[in-house]
Amino acid sequence: MANTTQIEAHSVGKMFGDFHALRDVSLDIKEGEFLSLLGPSGSGKTTFLTMLGGYQNLTSGKLLLEGQDMTNWSAKQRGFGMVFQGYALFPHLSVAENIAFPLKVKKWSKAQMSARVDQMIEMVGLSGHAHKKPKALSGGQQQRVALARALAYEPKVLLLDEPFSALDKNLRGQMQEELRRLHRDLGTTFVFVTHDQEEALALSTHVAIFNQGALQQIGTPSEVYEHPANRFTAEFLGDINIMSLDAEKGGVAGTKIDLPTNASAFDHIALRPEHMRLAGETDVNKLPVTVRDMVYLGSKSRLVLETKAGEELMFYIDNGPGLPPPDLGAGLHVAWDTGDSFAL
């Protein structure tokens, strides 16, 4: 089942007045996938999610569900589960009543309904809270209710709009774990909007990166992180060091460097900080740099290094036993393997 395409978007576009909220987005979502829509605010990711759910109309393009054209289907016809930003729980109903609401609409029998509600409450770990109103619950608990309500009628697809944005960091991590577990256990397709790249990389099987209404890249987390398709993706995901190539494209900042094969067609090379190391005797790519700043982060320290061309690089060193940290203004050599760098 893991390989059947469930949802296809073909050149989907959305205009608000003459503003392109979304332009020409095409992507496939496979059954059972956990797809994160990642991008800065205003990138169109939430617009795309609400259009998938049927809460907004497309201006152009079409959407297919299991091969059928669902472009003009309403949200209820699509029947996807949705977890809204801010949860959108019914404030006047208890936890159990909130979860039962969609089942009541779908005319489940009393017995089936109460069994299912109990099961969902159990599943999201809210036993003992069934009769509380949402306002008596913490943010994390409300989030669980929203999840349980959206999953209660076993939708084929669950859409989540920045579900964790209101939670503090620890709770966020915990909820992410639970979401992964739910996804593993249920096998439902999850489409998840977030602006937090770590969250996207940690949770999903696939990540789609949006910027200014356009899809930049889609792939597995390691694909998009290690082989970014363009400068935006490279800079948006994690830390990246970008260095201008010298005019004759033989190196960086006056030092000859072994460049990736296609570098001659580009002006920059990029490199993740974790692929850099302090240069040793045998290293080929050795770049002289000066330490400009150092930030202590606990287990590691972040150094800001400056090349001879005046460009800043980010570099992490472990704060273990070993070499003492370098002084500000000290000169160092950093090195990397050519295969870890890429031209942009």
The secondary structure of residue 325, as a DSSP letter, is P
Q: Does 101 bind other proteins (CB under 8 A)?
A: yes
Locate 164 and state its tokens: 């964790």
Residue type (1 letter), 275: H
Instruction: Tell me which DSSP letter residue 245 carries.
Output: B
DSSP per residue, 80-106: -EEEBTTB---TTS-HHHHHHHHHHHT
Contact 207, 35 (CB under 8 A): yes
Using an 8 Å Cβ cutoff, are 158 and 191 in contact? yes
Nearer to other proteins, 152 or 334 (CB): 152
Measured from the CB atom, the residue of 155 and 238 that comes closer to other proteins is 155
Please report whether residue 138 would count as binding other proteins according to CB under 8 A: no
Q: Applying CB under 8 A, which of residues 26, 57, 69, 86 lies at the interface with other proteins?
A: 86
DSSP E strands in 99-161: the ranges are 157-161
Of 79, 140, 163, 221, which lies in the binding site for other proteins, with binding defined by CB under 8 A? 79
User: Which residue of 16, 67, 105, 115 would you call a contact of other proteins, by CB under 8 A?
Assistant: 105
Closest separation in Å from C-beta 192 to other proteins? 17
Q: Does 163 bind other proteins (CB under 8 A)?
A: no
Q: Which stretch binds other proteins (CB under 8 A): 102-110, 260-268, 281-289, 319-327?
A: 102-110
Interface residue with other proteins among 13, 102, 260, 288 (CB under 8 A) is 102
Smallest gap from residue 50 Cβ to other proteins (A): 9
Q: Which stretch binds other proteins (CB under 8 A): 33-41, 87-95, 195-203, 258-266?
A: 87-95
Euclidean distance between CA atoms 35 and 172, whole angstroms: 18
State which of residues 9, 49, 63, 89 lies at the interface with other proteins (CB under 8 A): 89
Q: Binding residues for other proteins, how many (CB under 8 A)?
A: 22
- Applying CB under 8 A, which part among 15-23, 82-90, 285-293, 308-316 lies near other proteins? 82-90
Q: Which residue has the tokens 């059972």?
A: 32
Angle between helices 110-123 and 139-151 (to 10 degrees): 140
Segment contacting other proteins by CB under 8 A, of 23-31, 85-93, 264-272, 279-287: 85-93
What is the CB neighbour count within 10 angstroms for residue 77?
Answer: 10
CB 40 within 8 A of CB 46: no
Q: Which of 27, 64, 88, 294 binds other proteins (CB under 8 A)?
A: 88
**90 near other proteins, judged by CB under 8 A:** yes
How far apart are CB 88 and other proteins at their closest, in Å?
4
- Give the count of beta carbons closer than 10 Å to the beta carbon of residue 29: 22
- Which residues between 34 and 63 bind other proteins (CB under 8 A)? 53-55
Q: Locate tokens 């007045």: which residue?
A: 17
92: contact with other proteins by CB under 8 A: yes
Contacts of 158 by beta carbon, 8 Å cutoff, 6+ apart? 80, 81, 82, 83, 150, 151, 188, 189, 190, 191
Indicate the residue among 80 and 225 with the shorter CB distance to other proteins: 80
Q: Between helices 139-151 and 95-105, what is the axis angle to 10°?
A: 20
263 φ/ψ angles, rounded to the nearest 5 degrees = -60, -30
Among 135, 281, 282, 327, binds other proteins (CB under 8 A): 135
Q: Which stretch binds other proteins (CB under 8 A): 101-109, 180-188, 190-198, 284-292?
A: 101-109
Rounded CA gap, 150 and 81, in Å?
A: 5
Nearer to other proteins, 15 or 93 (CB): 93
Residue placing its CB nearer to other proteins in the complex, 153 or 266? 153
Location of structure tokens 């070993």:
322
Judged by beta carbon, residue 93 or residue 314, the one nearer other proteins is 93
- Helix (H) or strand (E) holding 47, with range, is helix 45-53
Binding site for other proteins (CB under 8 A): 53-55, 75-76, 79-80, 82, 84-86, 88-93, 101-102, 105-106, 135
